[in-house]
Structure 1
Amino acid sequence: MTSRLTLGTLAAALLLAFSPLHAATPPAAAAGKVSAAVSAAESKRFLKLADEYYDAVARFEPVGATENGDNRFDDQIGMAIAPAERARQYARYRDYTRRLQAIDRRKLTHRDQINYDVLAFELKTLLSFEPYPGHLLPLSQMDSLPVTLANYASGEASQPLTTVKQYRAYLNRLKQLPAWLDQAIVNMKEGMRTGVTQPKAIMISALPQFQKLVAATPEQSIYYTPVTKMPAAFSTADKASLTADYRVAVTQLQPALARLATFLEQEYIPACRTSTGLSAVPNGRAWYEARVADSTTTDLTPEAIHEIGLKEVARIQGEFAKLGPQLGYNGPPAGLPVWVSQQPRFFPFKTEDEVQAVYRKLNGVLDEKLPAMFTLLPKAKLDLRLEPELSRDTASDHYTAPAADGSRPGVFWSVVTDPTKYGSTGMTTLFLHEGKPGHHFHIALMQELGLPNFRKFGGNTAFTEGWALYAETLGREMRLFDDPAQYFGHLNDELLRATRLVVDTGMHAKGWTREQTIQYMKDTLGYDAVAKSETERYMAWPGQALAYKIGALKIMELRQRAQQALGEKFSLPAFHEQVLGDGTLPLSLLEAKIDHWIAQQQVR
């Protein structure tokens, strides 16, 4: 299996830093050792390198920085898909790796040793992708720069639009977009030549998004939206200047958008591969293994993950056998999701506002309950909003980070395409995951811990999504799942995450087809629409969906280990503080940290 980094090496290094022997050293002696070993110059050298590395990443993918709450590069889109720029970036990663290896880790502070290990892990991960031509797949139904920028046009997403400077920043991105679109077409043509294309099915799903971006006049374009929502406080001169400049930029952008839509429909989609998994492209099996390693921060093979998924599916369906009768269902456990999906009482909504009202009420309940479980809480607020209409058909409910400067809260986005089809049973567990204490407690807190920028605005999916899925399980302890319907919703969402382990590895490592995957998901989950959209999501993002369950299983394993080892000494708020308190970590480093904490508690 392609490995980004030998996890045992990192874990051993962190275990040394977290060693219980250090905890047993008398404080005075320990202080003497630290003062003799730690070098301010070495720490300064490391932090300078860490900041250089992050800024290089942010300039390479400035829209990614915006998404993560860093608004310093909001006037750039970058050209990461250009082969020459991509080559330069990988050369930078190799240079940063050499410079990092020249720094004496032993002379860093304890926190900077953690930062060092995370940076080493990230660089190894990034370099592991150099052999694989991801730039030849610049668009999908899940992820594309023109749609992301279109969603920014409302001013309600990650890019703020409240000042003249911010309006100019977004305008500058629009001016750069035609060149990016033309480069994307060049890349996709190269992919057609070399056999590296997206699956045809997901591009058919994506095509309407790009066709909607083409407008007959500037005023009809979604990118012109900021002009129609200009703050009243702007001066008359600024309003006139911005209106004129936006009209010119959008006018110049429209031909490029039309070229893209025409190319996708007439050339790219007909040439796209009819296969499903990434293994079908040249060197695709190794590429998928690199993505699995990235998503899970483990050395687990796709085959091992597939087996874990099958076992988890069976376990959860065993829970369904106990729960079904409480809901009035007495059929086979595997049929419970289908039965629930057919009960009108679980689809009570007629309007979007009715859906939002349930989330607002739940938000208030959690404000009362969560302080008993957490002593480490983010200062940033959580806002609740509806997904913009453009991306509603393909998006899932999700969270976006607050702005680092506190100007924008974290946001839970609910995707309500048809209120009458929005199921009520999954709302509690969804909010625990996407809102609090899931993504909001973790991601917002990351910006408040005093971490270097590469960690404040970065991370890995296994910890991020693993924490959010673990956070769902806390609903039971807060008595939020006393209602059998809400507990079903939790189990059903957990079943989805377990099913992902089966079908993602099935498609990309075991040769499953799209149709086979959809059928397995229908049989297991009972939701036809979700089966199609989720299958196509995994086709577009190979390996990403594995992170949730693998990460959650590790956090739950560490909690059980701590509870068994500490008995009455175990404190749930203290455990949560240990998991979240040093920010996002690869799972091996998190395990070493919790093992050290357990040892510390045992000697007290």
Structure 2
Amino acid sequence: MTYRRNTLATLAPLAAAVMLALAPLASGAAAPAAAVPQVSPAPAHKALLALADQYYDAAARFEPINATENGDNRFDDQLGLSIAPAKRAQQFKLYRQFAARLKTIKRAQLDNGDRINYDILGYELNQLLAMEKFPEHLLPINQMDSVPVTLANYAGGEASQPIGTVKEYDAYLSRISQLPAWIDQAIANMREGMKQGITEPKAIMESGLPQFQKLVSATPESNIFYTPITKLPAAFADADKQRLTAAYRKTVGEQLMPALARLATFLEKEYVPACRTTTGLGALPNGAAWYQARVASATTTSLKPDEIHAIGLKEVARIQAQFEVLGPKLGYTGPASGLPVWVAAQPKFYPFKTEDEVQAVYRKLNDVLDTKLPLMFTLLPKAKLDLRLEPELSRATASDHYTAPAGDGSRPGVFWSVVNDPAKYGSTGMTTLFLHEGKPGHHFHIALMQELNLPNFRKYGGNNAFTEGWALYAETLGKEMGLFDDPAQYFGHLNDELLRATRLVVDTGMHAQGWTREQSIQYMHDTLGYDNSAKTETERYMAWPGQALGYKIGSLKIVELRQRAAKALGDKFSLPKFHAVVLGDGTLPLALLEEKVDRWIASQK
């Protein structure tokens, strides 16, 4: 369960940029001076905004799919070739130039808002440059995300890239016409990785292989990338219909089909057999430092893997203690650690026969929240939230997730539910899932951020600890709204919280402590009662080292700040105002968020 931007972008350099390091915070650079002018002098203000815009546009052109995923559709006709070593080197050179230019801007001449922009831009550039030495471009494909599968999921026109106008049809055609070059570069990179001993784990590539085989077709018309032509709007002029049909048939048949076949054959015959049998990132050359950099990116802290592992074990024990109380209410009398396994085996918690029955529950919950959330929030996004089913191609390996609205308001935010088999879709976790992926979780944060007056690099950016931490914190609000009065739904909430705690244990276990894939699967089965999903979850963490750490680390910080504010302010504490403080400036590194909340507490006193 995750915000789709983070899943797609985790391995991409732009995403590495927007997962921020804490080191600059430790220097005290983020603290505002006591006497700050409220209007920035024009030279410093204009120089900062110009630099920020140039930086964002450069990053978006380097990874245009990330821009699309984040709701910026200006680059939908571009694919980019960020995995090419020469382009990657040029981009890092450009980022060093941006960092040097930023240092020439006098921070003391900026107002509070611009200082936040200045600090975050500095962190992003620092984090980008910190990742330069790690050869992530040699790992361009895994089972969780890849450019070919992402573009295939766009083909229906219902995902982040709209395909409804002639211009949008041309943009998608332009983008997929660039895919063969990306595929050939990816194959070259993977061959180089094989030489250097830098490959993905064999287990996750075996899981992902069917995705790429499904992209291969016998005819252009039966290929998924031809899908837009099967949905040509009747309103299009005949000339446009004929031109687009011919162009798609030619591009798919002559360029894409051979390239997709090359990729599937290479993966099956060469790459998968050569992949490593080890599990964690720590097994790769310089892997320990590589993982530590990922941890810093995902949490915006300086926490070490061993410290996070200990936090995870402590949280697992705390939540299991709550199972002691909850179990009897569900009819369970065994040991607390066995409650998830017991619930997972109860037929009554799997009531669905169709996808529509699953969606009906989410639609009803969406309506209920519309009546309850205004009591907790004064800061609400204008963008609507839509509820859709995950496309069939990616259902087998996808998790329920959220995608951002279009920046221009033309497309709503979307909660995607992944229903492979309705009969196996558990009902207990649905409320907490929707609070996380829908509202007030990702939708209230991501959609609102696009409506704030922020530079593009922040409007379409973020960091994992705040983004996922907020969404996990949002789940806890269900108890205050009475949504967990049903013991089964409260179990679902606790069990999902337990999942986030378990992630701290298994992610650090695999990547820093030598755990095997099988150890992680067994631990998740024993702790969470997971069966098939223990494999899927474990392989997700293998593909995205560190990504899953931001959830719990971020939510623990937000809960801590709320408790601090409530204790300090007493009767003056306002939950809607607290939420407005947390969300009102968009995504922040956790230390900047803490400073902001502390300033608010002081101002309320």
Is it true that 1:425 corresponds to 2:428 in the alignment?
yes
Pair 1:475-2:475 in alignment: no
Counterparts of 1:389 and 1:161, CA distance in 2: 18
Structure 2 counterpart of 1:263, one-letter code: F
2-side partners of 1:575 and 1:552: how far apart? 14
Q: Specify the code of the residue in structure 2 equivalent to 1:342.
A: A
**Cα displacement string for residues 485-544 of structure 1 (whole angstroms, at most 9, x for unaligned residues):** 000000000000000000000000000000111001100011111110000000000000
- Please give the TM-score of this superposition, normalised by the length of structure 1: 0.96
Find the counterpart in structure 1 of residue 463 from structure 2. Answer: 460
Residues 551-594 of structure 1 deviation map (CA, whole Å, 9 limit, x = unaligned):
00000000000001110110000000000000000001101111
1:56 to 55, 58, 68: 58
Using the aligned pairs only, state the percent identity.
Answer: 74
Instruction: List per-residue Cα deviations over 1:235-273 (Å, max 9, x = no partner).
Output: 111111100000011012111100000000000011000
* Partner residue, 1:158: 160
Partner of 1:15: 31
Say if 1:353 and 1:276 are closer, same or farther in 2 by CA, change over 3 A: same
Q: Following superposition of structure 1 onto structure 2, how do residues 149-298 of structure 1 map, counting pairs within 5 Å?
A: 149-251=151-253, 252-298=255-301
The equivalent of 2:559 in structure 1 is 556
Offset at residue 155 of structure 1 (A): 0.2
Aligned partners of 1:15 and 1:593 also within 8 Å: no
Q: Describe the shift of the 1:278–1:448 C-alpha distance in structure 2 as closer, same or farther (beyond 3 A).
A: same
Long gaps (5+) in structure 1: 23-29
Distance in 1 between residues matched to 2:219 and 2:32, nearest whole Å: 63
Question: Separation in 1 of the partners of 2:60 and 2:391?
Answer: 26
Q: In the alignment, what sits opposite 1:25?
A: none
Q: Aligned pair 1:312/2:315, yes or no?
A: yes
Q: Is contact 2:21–2:297 with CA below 8 Å preserved after alignment?
A: no
Shift of 1:152: 0.1
Contact residue 10 and residue 117 of structure 1 kept, 8 A: no
- Give the counterpart letter for 1:182 in structure 2: D
1:322-349 CA distances to partner (integer Å, 9 max, x unpaired)?
0000000000000000110111110000
SS of the residue 1:12 aligns to: coil
Other-structure match for 1:535: 538
| Whole-angstrom CA distance in 1 between matches of 2:528 and 2:287 | 29
Shift of 1:11: 7.2
Confirm or deny: 8 A CA contact 1:14 1:114 kept in the other structure: yes
The match for 1:396 is: 399
Q: CA deviation at 1:233?
A: 1.1
Give the 5 Å matches for 1:40-119. Answer: 40-119=42-121
What is the Cα deviation at residue 41 of structure 1?
1.4
Whether the aligned pair in 2 keeps the contact of 1:14 and 1:593 (CA below 8 Å) is no
Letter of the structure 2 residue corresponding to residue 41 of structure 1: P
**Is the CA contact (8 Å cut-off) linking 1:11 and 1:592 kept in structure 2?**
no
Structure 2 residue ranges without an equivalent (≥5): 1-18
After TM superposition, list the pairs within 5 Å mapping 1:463-542 onto structure 2: 463-542=466-545
Aligned pair 1:579/2:595, yes or no?
Answer: no
Counterpart of 1:215, as a letter, is S
Amino acid at match of 1:413: W
User: How far, CA to CA, are the matches of 1:597 and 1:556 in structure 2?
Assistant: 16
Amino acid at match of 2:355: E
Are the equivalent residues in 2 in contact too, given 1:142–1:394 (CA < 8 A)? yes
Alpha carbon RMSD of aligned pairs, Å?
1.2
- Give CA-to-partner distance per residue, 1:186-209, whole Å, 9 cap, x none: 000000000100000000000000
Cα distance in 2 for residues equivalent to 1:212 and 1:428 = 33
Question: d(CA) in 2 for partners of 1:538 and 1:51?
Answer: 33
Paired AA for residue 481 in structure 1: F
Q: What is the distance in 2 between the residues matched to 1:10 and 1:189?
A: 40
For 2:388, what is the secondary structure of its paired residue? strand
TM-fit CA distance, 1:10: 5.5
4+ long deviations beyond 4 Å = 3-6
Per the alignment, do residues 323 and 89 of structure 1 end up closer, same or farther by CA in structure 2, a change over 3 Å counting? Answer: same
Native 8 Å contact 1:7 1:588 kept in 2:
no
C-alpha contact (below 8 Å) 2:387/2:416 kept by paired residues:
yes
Give the match for residue 331 of structure 2.
328
Matching residue of 1:123:
125
Amino acid across the alignment from 1:46: L
**What CA distance in whole angstroms lies between the structure 2 residues aligned with 1:348 and 1:314?**
30
Aligned counterpart, 2:13: none
Matches within 5 A, 1:357-376: 357-376=360-379
Equivalent pair of 1:466/1:555 in contact (CA under 8 Å): yes
1:588 maps to 591
Residues 8, 49 of structure 1: alpha-carbon distance in 2 compared, 3 angstrom cutoff: closer
How many Å separate the matches in 1 of 2:218 and 2:173? Answer: 19
